[in-house]
């Protein structure tokens, strides 16, 4: 029985090759990174910025490209990978294609924890990543608890509604906290809308250890997660432990989402769009999906950041606004699908 199910799963996955998709998305990612260095974040003509990439250019152009645009691009790269992989893990363990960190309260929990920390005296510039990760951990626990409630976890729409209710509650509490403290409001006003503007490499370096640990956990649980997608009985039959697996997923998602939120603020829909596109290209096998989330996540985040610089130039739109504009149609397309996809 189990061998038959696995064989069908392998045949379905084999129809869609991973390598061509990785090559295409890797090429697109390279193009998006170059565009990110050429446009926005400083008044330098494109020709001058291009000259800097070739090892020439003026001192002003070199400063803007290397000190402003390059760190911003690298942070967008890390945030895109973190949110894309976190979304894929959360959807796999909840077996729900709508289980997105931004929709289900994980990012809102992280933002709420940061707001509380700032209210208690911390500075957004010196805020420890651990605070955001603890908030994300609480959000993850809620998602899994809701997913295991009878009648809620089996219905993707009801799970999203439960997550939206939690997100709204946490956002309302965050706004309420900020009303009590003008300093906290000034510290967090721009951050809470989501942005990678004004961040430097020290912000990225501070989250690299957490991302590395999350990456190792993800590599460890990818194969058991693929078995869990076939059902708990199949996973147990293959020698895996679903309870232990869920705990590891919660830790990995908390590290990923908490790190991304700490350096870029809460960005919704990235964790929904990225796995959705990856599955459309290579199928539902979580191992293939995770590989493809690595280039697609940064493409979405860096591409949105480029648009945020250009749409209302010379000012910039919050990155969170652009990710919402991109992600909302995808959510509607999934919800309006004749048959709700399952994982």
Q: Which tens digits make up the pLDDT trace of 287-326?
A: 889 999 999 999 999 998 888 888 777 777 778 778 888 7
Q: Which tens digits make up the pLDDT trace of 13-37?
A: 555 578 888 999 999 999 999 998 8
For 50-97, the DSSP string reads HHHHTT-S-HHHHHIIIIIIHHHHHHHHHHHHHHHHHHHHHHHHHT-T
2: pLDDT strictly greater than 50:
no
- Which domains occur in the chain, in start order? 1-336 (1.10.3470.10)
Q: Which tens digits make up the pLDDT trace of 97-138?
A: 777 777 777 777 777 887 787 777 766 555 567 787 788 778
Q: What's the pTM?
A: 0.83
Please give the distance of CA 149 from its chain centroid, rounded to a whole number: 25
Contact call for residues 54 and 266 (beta carbons, < 8 A):
no
Contact call for residues 153 and 147 (beta carbons, < 8 A):
yes
């Amino acid at each position: 029985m189990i061998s038959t199910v696995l064989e069908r799963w392998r045949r379905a996955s084999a129809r869609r090759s991973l390598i061509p998709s990785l090559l295409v998305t890797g090429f697109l990612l390279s193009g998006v990174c170059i565009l990110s260095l050429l446009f926005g974040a400083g008044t330098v003509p494109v020709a001058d910025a291009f000259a800097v990439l070739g090892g020439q250019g003026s001192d002003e152009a070199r400063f803007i490209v290397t000190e402003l645009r390059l760190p911003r691009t690298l942070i967008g790269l890390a945030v895109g990978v973190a949110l894309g992989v976190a979304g894929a893990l959360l959807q796999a363990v909840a077996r729900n294609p709508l289980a997105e960190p931004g929709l289900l309260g994980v990012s809102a929990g992280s933002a709420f924890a940061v707001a509380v920390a700032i209210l208690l005296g911390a500075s957004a510039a010196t805020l420890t990543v651990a605070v955001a990760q603890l908030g994300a951990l609480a959000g993850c626990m809620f998602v899994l608890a809701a997913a295991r409630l009878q009648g809620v976890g089996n219905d993707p729409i009801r799970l999203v509604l439960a997550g939206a209710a939690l997100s709204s509650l946490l956002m309302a509490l965050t706004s309420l906290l900020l009303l009590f403290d003008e300093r906290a409001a000034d510290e967090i006003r721009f951050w809470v809308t989501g942005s990678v503007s004004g961040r430097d490499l020290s912000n990225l370096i501070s989250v690299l250890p957490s991302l590395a640990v999350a990456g190792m956990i993800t590599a460890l649980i990818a194969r058991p997660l693929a078995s869990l997608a076939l059902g708990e009985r199949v996973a147990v039959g293959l020698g895996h432990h679903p309870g232990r697996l869920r705990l590891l997923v919660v830790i990995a998602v908390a590290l990923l989402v908490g790190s991304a939120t700490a350096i870029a603020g809460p960005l919704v829909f990235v964790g929904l769009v990225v796995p959705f596109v990856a599955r459309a290209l290579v199928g539902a096998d979580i191992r293939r999906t995770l590989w493809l989330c690595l280039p697609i996540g940064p493409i979405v985040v860096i591409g949105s950041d480029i648009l945020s610089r250009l749409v209302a130039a010379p000012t910039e739109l919050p990155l969170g606004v652009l990710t919402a504009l991109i992600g909302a149609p995808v959510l509607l397309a999934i919800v309006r699908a004749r048959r709700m996809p399952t994982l």
